[in-house]
Amino acid sequence: MDCIFCKIVAGEVPADILYRDELVIAFRDINPEAPVHVLIIPVKHIPSLADVTEADAPLVSRMISVANRIAEQEDVAEKGYRVAINCGEQGGQLVPHLHMHLLGGRQMSGKLG
């Protein structure tokens, strides 16, 4: 499959991987928008948030707990951080493999879009 994030999961494209388990991997964004900018993605290819179902509850829960753990490791947990999932064209999603952005290390703007 011609998916850049599936290639990162497979090790075919290099990435600065911070965490990996049977459900998710986390790696640094190649074009960071904050001092800490990490992407948390499912190992399996899910195109977008719109494709997530009730059956994916353990996966979504894992993505959130991994984001929290990395926020601790990256030392932004105390001051706070933002997680965001862009969905579809107008949601600003560019890579069609579900991913959660973890952003921290600076004051986030009040605006979300």
Per CB under 6 A, residues contacting ligand 5GP are 4, 13, 15, 27-31, 39, 86, 92-95
Amino acid identity, position 106:
R
Of 37, 45, 97, 99, the active-site residue reads: 99
Residue 79 is classified by DSSP as T
SS3 call for 41: strand
Residue 97 binds what, of Zn ion, ligand 5GP, none (CB under 5 to 8 Å, by partner type)? Zn ion
> Could you confirm whether 97 is annotated as catalytic?
no
| Closest distance of CB 13 from ligand 5GP, Å | 6
| DSSP assignment of 84-105 | E---TTTTT--SSS--EEEEES
Q: Could you tell me the two tokens for 47?
A: 């195109």
| Closest distance of CB 65 from ligand 5GP, Å | 20
- For the annotated catalytic residues, the residue numbers are 99
